Structure 1
Amino acid sequence: MRSSISDRLSKMDKRLLNVRFKKSTASIFVLFIIFIIVFFFHPFNELTTVNLQSYPNLVDSLKGNTVISDIKIKKCFYYSSCQLNKVEQLQWRRLDSPLELYAAKPFRSLSRSMDIFNTFVFVKQASAQTVDSALVDVKITLKGEPINDSNEGWVSTDYDSYTIWKKFISKSHETFEQVDLVRDLDILFGMDDLQDSREYWQYQRTSIPVNAPVLPHLTLLKVPLTSHNKIFTEFHEFQSLKQNEVLLAKSNSLKIVQISDLHIGPDTGFCLDSSIDCTADLKSLEFLESSFEGESSSKPIDLVVITGDLIDSHRTKEFKSSILKSLSPILSKKIPFIFTFGEMDEVPLYEDKPEDENSPDESDLKVDTILKLNILNFISSLPYCYNKFVRYNQNLHGLTNYNMKVFKMPVNEETQLKLDEPAAIITVLDSENHKIDSSQINFLYRENQPLKSKDPFKLLFFHYPLPNYRPQGEFKLIGAYNDKKPLKKKTDMKFRDDIASLGYQVVSVGHEYKNDLCLLSEKIDRNTVINSMWLCYSSGAGASVGTSVDYDRKLRVFQIDFEKKQMLSWKRSALKGAFDHQMIHEY
C-alpha cells in the first residue's frame, strides 16, 4: 500500500515538474523571441533620441589655446553607448557619429555586412600651455596599411581593424606657435562631391575604409597660435553686424542671389533612372559655382538668401556633411548668407498642444524638432552666416525669422550708422508647415514701425508661396508659369495686403521648381491701383524627385542701384545664363 501511494505521489510530482518545465520553457522561448525582435530589429543606433547640441564656431574652437594632443579609436558592441570611464571623460571627447553610420544594420540586409560593432573616434584636447606635444596631422587607414613609401615622421597605433597615423610637434620646438596645429577634428560622410570649404579646415578626400555605401572622412581644423588676433578681430567685426542684423553693401549698389531647393544629400544625388551614374548633386554644385563666378564678374555678391530645401532629409543621417557640401560654393567664396527652412529640411516645431497651455519646455519637444534646432544651431555657427540660433518662441511662428538692414558704402570709423535709416530691408520668414501666420505679420509691423528711412527698398523671402501666387483673371508676368495646381491655403490671403502696405516691393519664394516667373500682384479699387508688388519664384537650383539629372537648374538675382533708385531682377540658369531681366521697382 505504501509503495502504491509513493508511486502515485512520484507520478504527480513528475507531472507537476513537467508542467513547470513546459511553462518555464515557454517563458524562456517568449523572452528569447522578444530579445531577438528588440536586439535585431529595434533601431537603437538611429536617431530615436536626440539631444539639443552645441556647435562651436571658429572662435569657440580656439578659445583657451586648446590643441588636439592625441587621438584613438574604440570599438564597441553595436547597441552600447561606447562611453569612456569617468577618469578618461575628463580628458577625452567622443566624436558624434560612428564610422559605420551608413553601414547596414545587423540582419536588416542579408546582402550587406552584418557587423554588430561600432567604431568611434576619440580626441584628447588640452591647453597648448599644458601639453608636451600637439598633433599637426592625422590619418586613419586599414590596419597595417602605409600612408606613403617612407612613413617618415609619423607615429602609428594599431587597433582591431585600423591604424591611426599621427604626426606630432614638440612644444619645445622653435616653430611650435607658428605651425598649423590641429585644434579640432570631425568626421564627415559623403562621396566624391563632399567638401568642407570652411576657412582653416582641411578636408581629407581619401576616405576611412568602411564597408558602407557612404564613407567617413576626417576633416581637421588647423590654425597656428599666432593667428588668433587676426581671426578674433575679423570674427567680432562680423558678429557685431550679425547681432544688429546689419548688412553693409560692398559698393553703391546691392546684389542678392536667391537659391532654393538644392536637395543635397550625402551621396551624389537622386536620379529617376537608377541605371545611370547619378551625379545630380555634383551638377547642382557646379551650377552654383559657375553662377557665382558669372555674377561676381560684374559686381561682387553682397548676400545669398537660401529659401529652403537646402538638404534632402530623407537621404541624410548626419546633416552636417550635407549642409557643408551644399554651402561649399558660398563658404569658399566667403559670401555672407542667410537661410530659412523648407519642408525637406524642416519638421514641426513641437507637438500639437491646446492653445491655453503654457509654452513647452525642452522635454516637450519632439525628436525631429530638436533635430531642426540642431540644424539651425550648426548653420548659425558657420562663417559669414547671418542666422542666429533660437530655442523656440511660442509667440512667433517658425525658427528662422530675420529682418536685415542694408547700408550703403562707404562706411568708416567716423560714420555713425543710423539703424533706423537703412537704404534697404531684407526680411526672411519661416514658412513652417506651409504657412505664414499672424504672428509673423505682427513681426513685420514691429520691425518696420521704427524705421525713419524715406522710401527704402524692401524685399521679403520665404519658402512656400502665398495663396496669392495663384491669381485669377488677367495679370502681368515675366517667366514660365507651368505649375498651376492648387496651393495649400493655410495662409490668409489678406496677409498679402499687410505686406504691401508695409512697403515691400517684392516677395520671392522657392518650392515650385517648374515655376520661375514673377507675377504682378495688384490691389485695385474702382479701377484704381492702390498698391502693387511682384510675387517671384527662384525656381530650383538642384534636382529632386520629379526632375532629371540634367534638369535646367535656376536661381534668381536682385540688384539695387542706390544712385539710380532702381531694383532689378533676373534669373540665371545652367543652360541660358542670365535672362529675363526686369524692373522690380523704381523711385
Structure 2
Amino acid sequence: MTRRIVRTGFQLGILICIALFLVFFLDSRYRVLPQSVHSHLPLHNEGLIITDITVQTCSTLNPLSSCKLDQDKWHRVEKDLYLNSGWVSRAYVHIKRKREEELTDEDKVIVDVRIGKLDPAMGEKTQASEKWESRPAGVWLKRSSKRHASDSKTSVTAVDVLFGADVVEPRPGWELVTPGALRLDSGPEGREPRLSIRRGPPAKIEKPVPRIRKDGKFKIVQVSDLHLSTGPGACRDPEPKEHNGGKCDADPRTLDFVGRVLDEERPDLVVLSGDQVNGDTAPDVQTAIFKIVGLLADRKIPYAAIFGNHDDEGALSRVAQMSLYETLPFSLSEAGSNQIDGVGNYFVEVLAHGNKHSALTLYFLDTHSYSPDEAHFKGYDWIKPNQIDWFKTSAESNKDAHKHYTHIHLDMAFLHIPLPEYGDRGAEHKGAWLEGITAPGFNTHFKDALVEEGVKVVSCGHDHVNDYCLLSKNQRTAEGDLWMCYAGGSGFGGYGGYGGYHRRVRVFDVDANEARISTWKRLEYGDIASRIDEQVIVDAGKVVPLQHREHRS
C-alpha cells in the first residue's frame, strides 16, 4: 500500500512537472509568435484612441496564471516588462482602444498618464470628472469623456514600452511618462521599463534632402560599431582604464564621445555603418536604436544606416529594424528591393547647391552576417551576385542623370564587413592595422564592380581596431583605383584592447568644387579637436596616392 502511494505520488509529481513545462513552453511559444509577427513594434495604429491601460503579471510556475487578457477587449504590447529575464514572472502592458467614430457617450479617453506610488492629484486641483485612476505597476490614468478624442493635444492615441534609465524618445509627438519606471516587484538591473505615449495623430515625417553647402563642401561622419545596449551597458576594454575613477558605463560614454564629435565637426550626414546594436545585451533593440537616433535628431543631422552581423542577434529582425528606421526623423535609411539578398541595399543622392542635379552618390549595401557555408568558407558572409547586379544597374542608370551636373560627379560606398582586398599587406595604407581582417572567405569580387562603376572610396566597419585607408592598385596599370577605408570602432560595448586603442570615428570632407575628398579621424580620449591621419584620397575626381607627410591640425 505504501509503495503504491509513493508510486502514485511520484507519477503525480512527474505529471505536474510536465504540465508546468508545457505551460511555460507554450506560453513562451505564444509570446514569441506575436513578437515575430509584430516585430516588437508598438501598437499605434492611426485613427485609434486609447481608452484604458493596465499591466498584467503572470507566473510561469502557475498553470492558471496568464499574461493575456480578454483579446476582444485588450491588446497587448508585445514586450515582456522583465525582458524575459524574470525567473518566474512575466508582465505586459495592455491597452483598450477604439476608433474615434466608435466612441460612445459612456466611453472615456486617456488624457494623461503618470507613474508613481502616490496619487498625482495630491497637491493639485482636479475636476471631479477627471480624477486619477490607479492601475497596477504604479500606473495612474486621468480619463475624460469622449469630447477630448478629437483634441490632439490631450488624447493619448498610442502606447509603447522602452527600457533603461538612459532611455531616449526621438519620435515627434511622443513623450516618456514621468517621473520614472514602472513599479515591478523586481526586474533586470539597469533596464527599467518606461511607458512612452503619443498624443494625437502620427507626426508627418519628411525625409531630408541632402545637399552640397554654399561653399561647395559636404561633410560625412562615419560612426561604426556603436554596440549599444538596453540600459547603460558594460564597457569592454575601456581605455584609459582609470578614466573617471575607473567607472565606465558603455552607452553614456559612447554617446558622449559621438555627441562631442558631431558638435565639433557639424557634419551634413552621418553614416551608421553597422553593429549599432549589441544583440546579446539589447533584448529591446528599439530602445538601443533610439539612443543614437535621439542624438542625431536633437542636432537635426540626416543619417543613413546599414546593418552589421550583431544588429539582428536580438529580438528584432533586419526587416523590422529597417521599417523602424524608415519612420524616424532625419533618416535616409531604406530597406531597398526585397527581390535581392539583404536588407538595406540603397543609394542616396546628394544634390548640388542651388539645383536638383546630383553631385555625390552614396551607395549602401548589406554585407549580411555569418558564412552560409562554414565548411568551405569560414567566418563571414559575402555580397551576393544579385546585389552586385543591382549595384551595377543602379550605377549605370544614375550616370545618365549625372551627366547634367556641371562639375565632376563623385561616388562613394559604405559596407559593414570588409572586402577580401582589404587584406593586401603590400598596398599603401595609412592608419592603424592592429588585427587581422575578418573578411569573407569567398570573394565575389565586388571590389572590381566598384572600380568599374567609378566609385573612388569604399569604407567599412566590423574590425574595431583597424582604422586604416588602403590604396588598391589596378593590376594592369599599377595606378591607384580605389581607396578602401575603415571607420574604427566607436562603441565601448564592443571590444577594444590591443594595447591602448582609443575609440574613434572617421570623417570624410567632400569638396564638390574641386572634386576632392579628404579624410581624417577623431579620437574619444584626448584632444577632441585634433585630427589624426588626415589625407587627401581623391582630387579632381581621381584617386591620388598616399601623401608622404602627415597632417595634424
Per the shorter chain, which TM-score range?
0.7 to 0.9
Whole-Å separation in 1 of the counterparts to 2:315 and 2:346: 20
Equivalent of residue 532 in structure 1, options 481, 487, 502: 481
Whole-Å separation in 2 of the counterparts to 1:98 and 1:486: 38
**Structure 1: gaps (5+ residues):** 1-16, 107-115, 348-367, 412-416
**What's the counterpart of residue 433 of structure 2?**
481
Quick check: 1:71 aligned with 2:53?
Answer: yes
Whole-Å separation in 2 of the counterparts to 1:506 and 1:303: 16
Q: Note the C-alpha offset of 1:287.
A: 1.1
Whole-Å separation in 2 of the counterparts to 1:322 and 1:129: 36
Is the 2:50–2:109 Cα contact (8 Å) retained in structure 1? yes
Whole-Å separation in 2 of the counterparts to 1:46 and 1:372: 22
**What's the counterpart of residue 95 of structure 1?**
77
Equivalent of residue 156 in structure 1, options 128, 132, 146: 132
For 1:377, the aligned partner's letter is S
Whole-Å separation in 1 of the counterparts to 2:227 and 2:490: 9
Quick check: 1:546 aligned with 2:492?
Answer: no
Cα RMSD after superposing both structures: 3.5
**What's the counterpart of residue 261 of structure 1?**
225
Q: Note the C-alpha offset of 1:164.
A: 3.0
Structure 1 residues 467 and 61: alpha-carbon distance in aligned structure 2, compared to 1, 3 A threshold: same
Q: Note the C-alpha offset of 1:371.
A: 2.7
Is the 2:80–2:90 Cα contact (8 Å) retained in structure 1? no
For 2:430, the aligned partner's letter is I
SS in 1 for 2:167: coil
Whole-Å separation in 2 of the counterparts to 1:322 and 1:216: 13
Q: Note the C-alpha offset of 1:436.
A: 1.8
Q: Note the C-alpha offset of 1:342.
A: 0.7
Q: Note the C-alpha offset of 1:276.
A: 5.8
Quick check: 1:497 aligned with 2:448?
Answer: yes
Q: How does 1:186-265 map to 2 (within 5 A)?
A: 186-191=160-165, 193-204=166-177, 206-210=180-184, 211-212=186-187, 213=189, 214-223=191-200, 231-232=203-204, 235=205, 237-238=206-207, 247-251=210-214, 252-265=216-229
Equivalent of residue 337 in structure 1, options 303, 308, 317: 303
Identical residues among aligned pairs (%): 25
**Structure 2: gaps (5+ residues):** 239-244, 370-379, 541-553
Q: Note the C-alpha offset of 1:177.
A: 3.6
SS in 1 for 2:362: strand
Whole-Å separation in 2 of the counterparts to 1:117 and 1:438: 45
SS in 1 for 2:358: coil
Q: Note the C-alpha offset of 1:218.
A: 1.3
Whole-Å separation in 2 of the counterparts to 1:130 and 1:33: 46
Whole-Å separation in 1 of the counterparts to 2:160 and 2:213: 34
For residues 6-49 of structure 1, the C-alpha deviation after alignment (integer angstroms, 9 at most, x for no partner) is xxxxxxxxxxx999878756643432343455557898289754
Structure 1 residues 98 and 33: alpha-carbon distance in aligned structure 2, compared to 1, 3 A threshold: closer
**What's the counterpart of residue 87 of structure 2?**
105
Q: Note the C-alpha offset of 1:374.
A: 2.0
Is the 1:136–1:180 Cα contact (8 Å) retained in structure 2? yes
For 1:124, the aligned partner's letter is R
Structure 1 residues 125 and 54: alpha-carbon distance in aligned structure 2, compared to 1, 3 A threshold: farther
Whole-Å separation in 2 of the counterparts to 1:100 and 1:55: 14
**What's the counterpart of residue 291 of structure 2?**
325
Whole-Å separation in 1 of the counterparts to 2:246 and 2:119: 35
**What's the counterpart of residue 557 of structure 1?**
507
Structure 1 residues 249 and 200: alpha-carbon distance in aligned structure 2, compared to 1, 3 A threshold: farther
Quick check: 1:34 aligned with 2:8?
Answer: no
Is the 2:489–2:496 Cα contact (8 Å) retained in structure 1? no
Q: Note the C-alpha offset of 1:129.
A: 8.6
Structure 1 residues 343 and 67: alpha-carbon distance in aligned structure 2, compared to 1, 3 A threshold: same
SS in 1 for 2:169: coil
SS in 1 for 2:462: coil
Structure 1 residues 370 and 216: alpha-carbon distance in aligned structure 2, compared to 1, 3 A threshold: closer
Q: How does 1:18-417 map to 2 (within 5 A)?
A: 27-38=11-22, 44=28, 48-49=32-33, 50-53=35-38, 63-64=46-47, 66-78=48-60, 82-85=67-70, 87-88=72-73, 92-101=74-83, 103-106=85-88, 116=89, 118-127=91-100, 130=103, 134-142=109-117, 145-147=118-120, 149-153=122-126, 155-159=131-135, 161-168=136-143, 177=151, 179-191=153-165, 193-204=166-177, 206-210=180-184, 211-212=186-187, 213=189, 214-223=191-200, 231-232=203-204, 235=205, 237-238=206-207, 247-251=210-214, 252-272=216-236, 277-296=247-266, 301-346=267-312, 371-389=317-335, 392-393=338-339, 396-411=340-355, 417=356
SS in 1 for 2:38: coil
Whole-Å separation in 2 of the counterparts to 1:165 and 1:537: 50
Q: Note the C-alpha offset of 1:123.
A: 4.0
**What's the counterpart of residue 368 of structure 2?**
432
Quick check: 1:522 aligned with 2:495?
Answer: no
**What's the counterpart of residue 241 of structure 2?**
none
Q: TM-score normalized by structure 1? A: 0.75
Whole-Å separation in 2 of the counterparts to 1:152 and 1:294: 47
For 2:131, the aligned partner's letter is V
When the two structures are aligned, how many residues end up with a matched partner?
498
Whole-Å separation in 1 of the counterparts to 2:394 and 2:315: 27
Structure 1 residues 559 and 61: alpha-carbon distance in aligned structure 2, compared to 1, 3 A threshold: farther
Whole-Å separation in 2 of the counterparts to 1:380 and 1:509: 22
Whole-Å separation in 2 of the counterparts to 1:488 and 1:47: 37
**What's the counterpart of residue 12 of structure 1?**
none
For residues 272-329 of structure 1, the C-alpha deviation after alignment (integer angstroms, 9 at most, x for no partner) is 5899644111011111211111112xxxx33221111101110122211111123221
Whole-Å separation in 2 of the counterparts to 1:500 and 1:261: 26
Q: Note the C-alpha offset of 1:372.
A: 3.0
For 1:534, the aligned partner's letter is W
**What's the counterpart of residue 584 of structure 1?**
537
For residues 157-192 of structure 1, the C-alpha deviation after alignment (integer angstroms, 9 at most, x for no partner) is 334x5443223455658x97473442322111112x
For 1:136, the aligned partner's letter is V
SS in 1 for 2:363: strand
**What's the counterpart of residue 242 of structure 2?**
none
Q: TM-score normalized by structure 2? A: 0.79
Whole-Å separation in 1 of the counterparts to 2:332 and 2:235: 33
SS in 2 for 1:346: helix
Whole-Å separation in 1 of the counterparts to 2:445 and 2:316: 32
Whole-Å separation in 2 of the counterparts to 1:449 and 1:260: 29
For residues 458-494 of structure 1, the C-alpha deviation after alignment (integer angstroms, 9 at most, x for no partner) is 1110101111111132x322222222x2534334173
Is the 1:338–1:387 Cα contact (8 Å) retained in structure 2? yes
Whole-Å separation in 1 of the counterparts to 2:21 and 2:145: 52
Whole-Å separation in 1 of the counterparts to 2:123 and 2:296: 38
Q: Note the C-alpha offset of 1:203.
A: 1.9
**What's the counterpart of residue 5 of structure 1?**
none
SS in 1 for 2:451: helix
For 1:51, the aligned partner's letter is S
Whole-Å separation in 2 of the counterparts to 1:339 and 1:77: 39
Whole-Å separation in 2 of the counterparts to 1:466 and 1:42: 43
For 1:514, the aligned partner's letter is V
For 1:563, the aligned partner's letter is N
**What's the counterpart of residue 376 of structure 2?**
none
Whole-Å separation in 1 of the counterparts to 2:123 and 2:431: 61
SS in 2 for 1:100: coil
Is the 2:465–2:501 Cα contact (8 Å) retained in structure 1? no
Whole-Å separation in 2 of the counterparts to 1:462 and 1:47: 34
**What's the counterpart of residue 394 of structure 2?**
447
